[in-house]
Amino acid sequence: MKTITTGGGNLFQIALQELGDATQWNRIAELNDLIDPFLTGIVTLKIPKLDPNAGGGVYVAG
């Protein structure tokens, strides 16, 4: 499992960058006990292993 530290942003962008699929944001949220996909401040996140069969979370561009 990988960890990253980020200053704000959102889980959609992080999932796209780290897992190649923005819809997998919910896997990151679940692993880090987060509900809100929008991050404030400096946050250290656990990133799950890549799973090309996972995903399907709702992605809203914005």
2-57 confidence digits (pLDDT tens): 999 999 999 999 999 999 999 999 999 999 999 999 999 999 999 999 887 886 65
Q: Is residue 38 part of a domain?
A: yes
Does residue 58 belong to any structural domain of this protein?
Answer: no
Please give the residue range of the domain that contains residue 14. 2-47
pTM of the model: 0.84
Q: Is residue 26 part of a domain?
A: yes
Q: Which residues pair with 37 in a beta bridge?
A: none
Q: How many CB atoms lie within 10 A of CB 59?
A: 18
- Confirm whether 36 is domain-assigned: yes
* Residue 61 maps to a domain: no
Residue 58 is predicted with a pLDDT of: 55
In this structure, is residue 59 part of a structural domain?
no
Instruction: Flag whether 17 is in a domain.
Output: yes
pLDDT of residue 22: 93
| Predicted local distance difference test score (pLDDT) of residue 52 | 78
